[in-house]
Structure 1
Amino acid sequence: MPGAPYYPMQREARCPFAPAPAVRDMPPLGRVRIWDGSEPWFITRHADQRALLNDPRLSIDEKRPGYPHMTRSRAAMAPHIPELITNTDPPQHTRLRRTVNAPFLVKRVELLRPRIQEILDSLIDDLLAGPKPADLVQTIGLPVPTLVITRILGAPYEDHEFFQAASHRAISHDTDPEDAARSSRELGEYLGALLVKRMAEPADDVLSEMGARVKAGEMTHAEAVTMGAAILIAGHETSASMISLGTLALLHNPGQLALLRDNSDDPKFVAGAVEELLRYLTIVHSGIRRIAIEDIELHGTTIRAGDGVVFDLAGANYDPAEYPEPDRLDLTRRARSHHAFGFGPHQCLGQSLARVELQVAYSTLYRRIPTLALAVPFEEVPFAMDGVAYGLKSLPVTW
């Protein structure tokens, strides 16, 4: 009998946006083999993920023995990482999330929409005035979310080359543990110095808010620094990938691109299109991880306490029981129930911000550059698959 397939699995080059065929061939409850040779349970169905990601019998505490770490580097660093919203269960998770939640609430994020629009329009002006072809990743994809998240966090945008490189090394599957630890340390030292500065000279940003909580004894300095790093990494990596990948997917589906362009002034349509693109692309392609702390019965099988569990988000987002014809990009589809941001108490903190950034980007870019086109064949666009989220190394475009 063949052993458990290795995870993460390679996507099919001809269908780079869809989950790997092996993911879709898995039973509702199967096992996969990860980098350390362990074989955690593997959950791909939408309904099962909905139930289990809300189940307190599963823990996100990565310091527990047997936790199915995403990378060798993460496993090596786990014992030294302070408690965060990304590795604690309630009630500690609830307390920590409260310390950083306010700037990412829907009402606060909506106030940023005009500024995000200004940023995007300025970048498009620069793109149109520059040479052709151009790389959309470097001219639009990365700058938009990086400019926004640095403003929210309180980090100078001028330092973006440093923290983009450091954050990529820290989370890449290909980075050895020593290099990942060094990159994380450099990022921590950088943010630690910024935090001290904000504690002395507060501004209207997240680092200042966390600095006030450190002073009040509600957070430790290490918690604030590590939380700042997590916000900075997640705040630019994922949205940058979505802007570029979404553009590629739309250029590959010209009928859907025309539909979006024709309805770019309809906020409701654009919002729905963003949800479908989030489902269709599902850029977090390494799964999200948990460990059972009690026995759980599922599909006639027992997940034992101490067993690791991996949830493949793309599997749920391509579950035909939830999304008929999942391989078809359909911007009219009602896709808000997707799991691109995870599900349950640990859903992505920045999902409201990501939605607004993508709504602005997708409603503006193709309207302002209606002749936007690939400058190379689709098959030659270089994908980047080595991180927690996949993306594009570059996206050569012309107009």
Structure 2
Amino acid sequence: MGKLRSRVVSWFTRRYLARARKKGLDLSSMSLLPDEVLMPLRREGLDPVPELGRRRDDEPVSKLPVPFGPTVWLVSGHAEAKAVLGDAKSFSNDFTNLVGTAGADADDNPGGLGFADPPVHTRLRRLLTPEFTMRRLARLKPGIDSIVADRLDAMARRAEPVDLVEEFALPIPSLVICELLGVPYADREEFQKHAVARFDLFGGAGQSFGAISESLAYLTTVVRAQREDPGDGLIGMIIRDKGDEVSDAELAGLADGVLTGGFETTASMLSLGALVLLRDADAFKRVHDHDDAVGDYVEELLRYLSVVQVAFPRFARSDVEVGGVPIAAGDMVVVSLSGANRDRALGTGLDVFDGQRAPTSHVAFGYGVHRCVGAELARMELRAAYPALVRRFPSMRLAVPAEELAFRPSSIVYGVDRLPVTLS
């Protein structure tokens, strides 16, 4: 079992890194977009570019100069972001709004929660919500602790420097999601292949939507197998509880949504959060010394890093105002989560990381009916991983100058390609 898991993680990581090093965007497919349109996805190290903060302060709802397709609005203020994200009556997430734009075709519809509106969204979310209560998630904690410990053991056996992305940040969420869904060990290599291909949302639209279709086709085979023999994971539980009330396509879409929301986002949080620890000796010591320090540390990281930089696009169902700005029916609205999470409405000094900051009402997990259903699972993984890492390797240091780290430019899920460290 251990050798199989090792092969799965190794194969998956090679594929992920090859994709990540493509630098986020297929620029040939984006050549008509001005730099200003991509500004909400650009950063300087861990921080959004200063232009995003200036835009938020001066014009929290502003038009992006997209030369084709619908009118696109950028929402970067905190109150304005919550107004859009929390208003499912005025704004639609339905995938059909994207058909004909960005290379999308109706047959590419991924289903799941992110691209559905109520009442369909409401019914599907009710299928997942019972499996993401703290009581149900508690059954995963021993498995999460075991996965983290296994990764630390594997790191200790590696020649230094060790890449925290490859050895720590990527395997933990991929294996946790396998446990959550109930993917058999024999299928995990195939599962992780589709996980890797799933996330180039802006890179080569045809290729991206093709990856979605392949992922859904694979997950449909997993669902059909569990119809015959339901496992102990989320897929099996829903099948046992709901039977034919939920179709194979709907259940595959839900599983794909869990993959979308919980894999690369958590991997990026683990790697970038570790980088913050390496840069902040006081935070490193607090997380090392005090069990209760990690809670505030994680909440501040979620706000400060905002690894999911923008939310799923919304489309105005009718003429509406946001922050006093009129938005016409059919216009696309892009909410900058990284901008909203540094709005001075949340407090002072928000462009600086403060591991002892009292938790804020950040929107790192979104807001409203589309708030990430797996938020508590992500918190469980982060709270387990950071203390275990610093206590196992208290002398851990970056193995390269910080300025040599390569971050992903213009990527919806922000991250770093490699994070080489010395452990002793």
Q: Fold match, TM over 0.5? A: yes
2:258 aligns to what? Answer: 231
Query: Is 2:285 aligned against 1:253?
Result: no
Residue 62 (str. 1) matches residue 95 (str. 2)? yes
Partner of 1:41: 73
Alignment of 1:358-373 (within 5 A): 358-373=382-397
1:29 and 1:124 map into 2 onto residues whose CA distance is: 45
- Aligned partner of 2:60 in structure 1 is 28
Whether the 8 Å contact between 1:4 and 1:32 is mirrored in structure 2 is: no
Contact 1:11 1:21 in 2 (8 A): no
The question of 1:383 aligning with 2:414 is answered no
The equivalent of 2:228 in structure 1 is: 200
1:288 aligned residue: 312
2:183 and 2:222 in contact (8 A); partners too:
yes
Q: In structure 1, which of residues 261, 271, 283 is the aligned counterpart of residue 295 of structure 2?
A: 271
Is it true that 1:187 corresponds to 2:215 in the alignment?
yes
Going from structure 1 to structure 2, the CA distance change for 1:299 and 1:253 (only over 3 Å counts) comes to same
Q: 1:114 to 1:198 in 2, by over 3 A?
A: same
Q: What are the ranges of 5 or more consecutive residues in structure 2 without an aligned counterpart?
A: 1-33
Deviations 1:198-224 (A, max 9, x none): 1111111122234446742x2222111
Residue aligning to 1:243? 270
329-338 vs 380-389, which deviates more? 380-389
Q: What whole-Å deviation, never above 9, does each CA across 1:77-99 have from its counterpart, x for those lacking one? A: 45541643112222221101011
> What TM-score do the two structures reach when normalised by structure 1?
0.89
Partner of 1:298: 322
Residue matched to 2:365: 341
Aligned-partner residue type, residue 396 of structure 2: L
Aligned to 1:123: 151
Q: Does the 8 Å CA contact 2:42/2:410 hold for their aligned counterparts? A: no
Secondary structure in structure 1 of the residue aligned to 2:388: helix
In the other structure, the counterpart of 1:355 is 379
Whole-Å separation in 2 of the counterparts to 1:175 and 1:11: 15
Q: Do the aligned partners of 2:163 and 2:418 also contact (CA within 8 Å) in 1?
A: yes
Equivalence map 1:20-169=2 (5 Å): 20-26=49-55, 27-34=59-66, 36=68, 38-55=70-87, 56-64=89-97, 72-73=102-103, 76-78=104-106, 80-81=108-109, 83-157=111-185, 159-169=187-197
Moved more, 39-48 or 309-318: 39-48
Measure, in 2, the Cα distance between the counterparts of 1:344 and 1:318: 19
| Residue identity in the other structure for 1:121 | A
Q: Can you list the C-alpha shifts for 1:114-163, whole angstroms capped at 9, x where unaligned? A: 22112211211221122111111111111111111101102235655544
Query: What letter corresponds to residue 355 of structure 1 in structure 2?
Result: R
Shift of the 58–186 alpha-carbon distance from structure 1 to 2, 3 Å rule, reads: closer
Q: Evaluate the alpha carbon distance shift between residue 65 and residue 248 of structure 1 in structure 2; reply closer, same or farther with a 3 A threshold.
A: closer
Summarize the Cα distance change of 1:177–1:285 in structure 2 as closer, same or farther, 3 Å threshold.
same
Q: CA deviation at 1:37?
A: 5.3
Q: What is the Cα deviation at residue 347 of structure 1? A: 0.3
Partner SS state of residue 274, structure 1 = helix
Given that 1:256 and 1:329 are in contact with CA atoms closer than 8 Å, whether structure 2 keeps it comes out as no
CA 1:22/1:344 → structure 2, altered by over 3 Å: closer, same or farther?
same
Relative to structure 1, the CA distance from residue 181 to residue 219 in structure 2 (aligned partners, 3 Å threshold; closer, same or farther) is: same
Report the Cα offset of residue 57 of structure 1.
1.2
Distance 1:158 1:238 in 2: 25
Contact 1:153 1:232 in 2 (8 A): no
Q: How far apart are the structure 2 equivalents of 1:295 and 1:312?
A: 21
CA contact under 8 A between 1:103 and 1:152: conserved in structure 2? Answer: no
CA distance in 1, matches of 2:330, 2:210: 31
Of 46, 71, 90 in structure 2, the residue corresponding to residue 17 of structure 1 is 46
* Residue identity matched to 1:231: V
Separation in structure 2 between the aligned mates of residue 157 and residue 333 of structure 1, nearest angstrom: 41
Pick aligned residue for 1:318 from 327, 334, 342: 342
- Distance 1:211-1:66 versus aligned 2 partners, 3 A rule: closer
Aligned twin of 1:332? 356
In 2 relative to 1, CA 392–157 (structure 1 residues): closer, same or farther, beyond 3 Å?
A: farther
Q: Give the conservation status (yes or no) of the 8 Å contact 2:341–2:363.
A: yes
Q: Following the alignment from structure 2 to structure 1, what is the Cα–Cα distance between the partners of residues 211 and 319? A: 38
Is residue 37 of structure 2 the alignment partner of residue 6 of structure 1?
A: yes
Residue aligning to 1:219: 246
Is the partner of 2:345 in helix, strand or coil? coil
1:359-391 deviations in Å (ceiling 9; x for gaps): 001121112211111111111122234643111
Residues 385 and 169 from structure 1, CA distance in 2 versus in 1: closer, same or farther, beyond 3 angstroms? farther
Say which is worse superposed, 269-278 or 77-86, in terms of deviation: 77-86
**Contact 1:8-1:286 within 8 A present in 2 as well:** no
Q: 1:28/1:100 Cα in 2 relative to 1: closer, same or farther (>3 Å)? A: same
CA distance in 2 between counterparts of 1:233 and 1:303 reads 29
2:65 and 2:134 map into 1 onto residues whose CA distance is: 39
Answer whether contact 2:108 2:213 (CA < 8 A) is retained.
no
Identity of aligned residues (%): 35
CA distance in 2 between counterparts of 1:394 and 1:158 reads 28
User: For the Cα contact (< 8 Å) 1:29–1:298, is it kept in 2?
Assistant: yes
Give the structure-2-normalised TM-score: 0.84
Label 1:35 to 1:96 Cα distance change in 2 as closer, same or farther (>3 A). farther
Contact persistence 1:66–1:306 (CA under 8 A): no
